[in-house]
């Protein structure tokens, strides 16, 4: 089943996991095939099938030429430039000053906001991917999130599943590796609010890491 089709992205339901095909200019989400085609409309009507581990769109087959590493880079310690105030107008109550999220925050954020990836989910994706990149995942909270993924869109749930494994967009990965004005601007340019949500979540996670005792089990 096709969940979304446009000139820049096609997303399909692959047995409860969202698989994407994105154009050369689209955001390279970790659950998608990254095409070199500039306009996916040239593929014709988005009738999609998976056959023999291959993705077919209309009469076209997606040929896989290489695999990309979508893991966020290791974060040893929060850089001062990464601990600026959060930037996204997130739904619900004010986010915690110490950056620590609890199950109640999942209720306030998960599925909140418009679009295929609601803003609240983007905040959570940034938080979980950053914690994983730092080698300090919150396993208990991750387990709670996994049980609640059904309340949001399938694409967003899939991207959250990726974040729980430390997989993220190239723009967030670049910012985590080097939080400069240039990488910040590039991240904020992602989507209408997705980049801002990811940045907010990442900064919250880094704040939580900065105040936790080293070696504390999450």
> In percent, how much of the chain has pLDDT > 90?
67
Q: How far is CA 14 from the centre of its chain?
A: 18
Digit-coded pLDDT (tens) for 42-68: 998 889 998 888 899 988 998 889 999
State how far the Cα of 131 lies from the Cα of 166, in Å rounded to an integer.
Answer: 8
Q: Average pLDDT of the chain?
A: 88
Q: What is the pLDDT of residues 149-198, one digit of tens each?
A: 999 999 999 999 999 999 999 999 999 999 999 999 999 999 888 999 99
- Measure Cα distances from 1 to 11, 12, 19 in Å: 9, 6, 11
For residue 205, what are its two tokens? 């996670």
- pLDDT classification of 217: cutoffs 50, 70, 90: very low
Q: What is the pLDDT of residues 107-146, one digit of tens each?
A: 999 999 877 899 999 999 999 999 999 999 999 999 999 9
pLDDT at residue number 87? 54
Q: Is the pLDDT of residue 33 over 50?
A: yes
Tell whether the model's pLDDT for residue 100 goes beyond 70. Answer: yes
Examine the pLDDT at 218 and tell me if it is beyond 50.
Answer: no
| 69-97 tens-digit pLDDT | 999 999 876 655 556 655 556 655 578 88
**Residue 32 in this model has a pLDDT that exceeds 70:** yes
Q: Of all residues in the chain, what percent carry a pLDDT higher than 70?
A: 89
Confidence check: pLDDT of 40 > 70: yes
Task: Write the DSSP assignment of 4-68 as a string of letters.
Answer: EE-SSEEEEESSSSEEEEE-TTS---TTEEE---S-GGGG-S--EEEETTEEEETTEE-------
Residue 216 scores a pLDDT above 50: no
């Amino acid at each position: 089943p096709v969940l979304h089709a446009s000139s820049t992205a096609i997303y399909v339901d692959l047995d409860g996991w969202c698989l994407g095909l994105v154009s050369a200019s689209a955001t390279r989400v970790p659950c998608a095939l990254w095409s070199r085609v500039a306009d996916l409309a040239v593929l014709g009507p988005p009738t999609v099938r998976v056959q023999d581990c291959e993705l077919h769109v209309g009469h076209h087959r997606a040929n896989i030429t290489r695999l990309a590493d979508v893991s966020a880079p290791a974060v040893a310690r929060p850089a001062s430039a990464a601990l600026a105030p959060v930037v996204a107008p997130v739904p619900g109550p004010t986010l915690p000053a110490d950056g620590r999220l609890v199950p109640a925050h999942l209720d306030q954020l998960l599925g909140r906001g418009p679009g295929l990836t609601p803003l609240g989910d983007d905040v959570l994706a940034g938080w979980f991917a950053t914690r994983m990149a730092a080698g300090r995942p919150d396993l208990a909270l991750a387990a709670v999130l996994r049980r609640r993924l059904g309340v949001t869109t399938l694409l967003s749930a899939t991207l959250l599943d990726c974040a729980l494994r430390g997989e993220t967009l190239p723009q967030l990965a670049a910012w985590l590796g080097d939080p400069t004005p240039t990488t910040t601007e590039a991240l904020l340019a992602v989507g209408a609010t997705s980049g801002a949500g990811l940045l907010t979540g990442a900064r919250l996670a880094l704040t939580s890491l900065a105040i936790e005792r080293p070696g504390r089990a999450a």
